[in-house]
Structure 1
Amino acid sequence: MKPKHWCGMTAKTGTVLSGIFSIIAMHMYLTFEQKYMKSRNCTEVNHNHNNMNILIKQFFICWSWDIVLFLSCITIVVSCLLLYSVYAQKFRGLIIYIIWIIFYETVNITLQIFTDNNRNAIEVRIVHWFGLVARILMHCFWIFFVMTYAHIIYKSKSQSNIISHSRRISAGSREFPRKKSKITSLTRHYKKEP
Structure 2
Amino acid sequence: MKPKHWCGMTAKMGTVLSGVFTIIATDMYLIFEQKYLRSSNCTEIDPGDMRIHSLIRHFVACWGFNIVIFLSCITIIISCLLIYSVYAQKYKGMVIYIIWIFFYEALNIVIQILTTKNTGIVEVRVMRWFGLVSRIFMHCFWIFFVMTYAQIIYKSNSQGTIISHRRRISTSSRDFPRRKSKII
Q: Same-fold call, TM > 0.5?
A: yes
Which residue matches 1:80?
80
2:117 maps to which residue?
A: 117
Structure 2 runs not aligned, ≥5 long: 179-184
1:179 is aligned to 172
User: Which stretch of the first structure deviates more once superposed, 48-57 or 16-25?
Assistant: 48-57
Q: Counterparts of 1:14-53 in structure 2 under 5 Å?
A: 14-46=14-46, 49-53=49-53
- CA separation in 2, counterparts of 1:146 and 1:155? 14
What's the counterpart of residue 64 of structure 1? 64
- Mapping of 1:135-146 within 5 angstroms? 135-146=135-146
Alpha-carbon RMSD: 1.8
Counterparts in 2 of 1:184 and 1:68: CA distance versus 1, 3 Å: same
Q: Report the equivalent of 1:156.
A: 156
Q: Check conservation: 2:40, 2:115, Cα contact below 8 A.
A: no
Label 1:104 to 1:181 Cα distance change in 2 as closer, same or farther (>3 A): same
**Which ranges of structure 1 fall in alignment gaps of 5 or more residues?**
186-194
* CA distance in structure 1 between the aligned counterparts of 2:75 and 2:176, rounded to whole angstroms: 63
Higher CA-based Rg = 1
Displacement of 1:56 after TM fit? 1.0
Question: Structure 1 pair 47/75, CA: closer, same or farther in 2 (3 Å)?
Answer: farther
In the TM superposition, residue 102 of structure 1 has moved relative to its aligned partner by 0.4
Query: Take 2:160 and 2:135, find their aligned partners in 1: how far apart are those partners?
Result: 37
Deviation at 1:51, TM superposition (A): 1.3
Moved over 4 A (4+): 182-185
Structure 1 counterpart of 2:172, which letter?
Answer: K
Relative to the length of structure 2, the TM-score reads 0.92
Measure the CA separation in 1 of the matches of 2:172 and 2:40.
80
Q: Which residue does the alignment assign to 1:133?
A: 133
Question: Alignment identity in percent?
Answer: 62
